[in-house]
Structure 1
């Protein structure tokens, strides 16, 4: 659920835009507006950003945010959308908000070598085009993130160096990923 502050801020920008904001709004499509919501929600749960990776995450032009990469949508080449996020080696601390599930055109999500904690969200099941997921070397915890089993496009998974535990489901290997890195967690065994 989008936070009320963000909703009201976007409401006022949409109703009373300045001339520069109006120009930005004219360039936006519904997918970029969803990306704006997702990235602003994420920025609000980042508690530490010592290298200022997210320092320019303001305004509606999400394609110019550091670490955010836009491209034409796979289903309509005339629509620009957020296709990749790469915040590797930022030492960023915080968590992942459910709103990241709004990034339905995302193909690459790389946030290795940070201090993100919590779990891999169930809303990631909406990321049907996700091809690469790298959350290695963070502080994620809990059971194996089974939401990745819903990602039929996933070919690269790296969850190393976190605090995941329990069994690794056999279904993971049925997906036949090109690259799979799950070591340096606290997994007990493969599920039966």
Structure 2
């Protein structure tokens, strides 16, 4: 039988060709970063056999040095399993993206058809009757995507408009926003509510916002 090293034992080691401190017999230790890590030990497992009615003990001897200079080899089944796992994760991500888009689409559908706001119904009635005066949009409640689509502008200018209305809650001073031309201001006055009459040619339009 093999004896286990006690906590107070003084062990003498030798350096092998790999530069590892090796202790003889069951006292063999490997040193990493000045820490003593046992490479050999015994594990005693005691269990009760329910059919025989006796208690048994098994001793398992472990020597990590048996695995020196070895490496873990992944089986083909394991490799294929990892590929399947990655594919399933990718599909799950795609399904989440599809669900987000479907939620946006389902918001416009009701039990008896499409759900339109009162404003949208009024605009449809105006267009069908040949009119051109649509219900104006409140810019304070809009994000950049609305400004970009309605005014046909780029993202940069749309974000500037969104930031302006988020900060000031008013259309006053938007003529001072860089890249906002008279044409865009005219479209803004046509489709959006404004608290003032916006004119890019006014004297105030040339003044920087304080």
TM-score (norm 1): 0.28
Higher CA-based Rg: 2
Name the structure, 1 or 2, with higher relative contact order (CA <8 Å, separation 6+). 1
Name the one with the larger strand percent. 1
TM-score (norm 2): 0.26
